[in-house]
Amino acid sequence: MVNLGVLSGLSWRASLGAARKAIVQRQISTGNREVSGSLRGHRQEFASDLTGQIIRKDNGMVSRSVSVLHGDAVKAYGRLNRILAENDIRRELKLRERYEKPTYKRQRLRRESHARRFKDEVRRKVHLIYRMSRWGL
C-alpha cells in the first residue's frame, strides 16, 4: 500500500489530495482510452474508474497507515503515534467533540497564530545568539 503521507511527510489531509492527484495523473497519462465497447461515455468511465480506485485505496486512511517493517510492530506503532502527533489529530478531535461557536473559534485562531508567530521569533533569536556565541562573539 502506498503511504504517500508517510513518505513525503505531508499532513494526512494533504496527502489524500496528493493521492487523488496521483490517481488523476495516472489516468491522464495513459493517453486516449478507447471506449471499450460499452455505451458509457469516456468521461463516465474515467469517473467510475477513479472512484473505484479511491475506494479501493481505503479512502482517507492511506496516510494514517503504517506498514510494519521487519516484524517490528512496536516501532510501527511509534511511527503512527508520531504522525498523529505531528498532525495534531488528537487535539483536533477534542475540539470537534463539542461545537465551538464561530466567535470563539475566531478568537482561538487569532490567539494561536499570534502565539505561533511569537514563539517562532523567539526561537529565531535564540538560535542566532547560539550561533553567534559559537562564532566567538
Partner 1 sequence: LHVHASSNNTIVSLTDANGRVFFNSSGGQVGFRKAQRSGFEAAYQATASIANKARDKDIRIRSLEIRLRGFGTGRDAAFKAVTTLTSWPISAVTDVTPIPFNGCRPKKARRL
23 residue type, one letter: I
Q: By CB under 8 A, is residue 70 in contact with partner 1?
A: no
The three cell numbers of residue 35 are: 471506449
Within 8 A by CB and 6+ apart from 67, the residues are 1, 3, 76
Longest dimension (CA), the chain: 77
Part in contact with partner 1 (CB under 8 A); list of ranges 42-50, 90-98, 108-116, 123-131: 90-98
- Smaller CB distance to partner 1: residue 11 or 27? 11
- Smaller CB distance to partner 1: residue 90 or 106? 90
Q: Which of 4, 6, 19, 66 touches partner 1 by CB under 8 A? A: 66
Grid cell 514563539 — which residue?
119
Closest CA to 87 of 8, 9, 32: 9
- Least distance (Å) from partner 1 to the CB of residue 134? 41
- Least distance (Å) from partner 1 to the CB of residue 126? 33
| Secondary structure letter of residue 64 according to DSSP | G
Spatial separation of the C-alpha atoms in residues 76 and 81, rounded to whole Å:
9
Q: By CB under 8 A, is residue 56 in contact with partner 1?
A: no
Residues forming the site for partner 1 (CB under 8 A): 1, 13, 60-61, 64-68, 71, 73-74, 76-77, 80, 84, 89-90, 92-93, 96-101
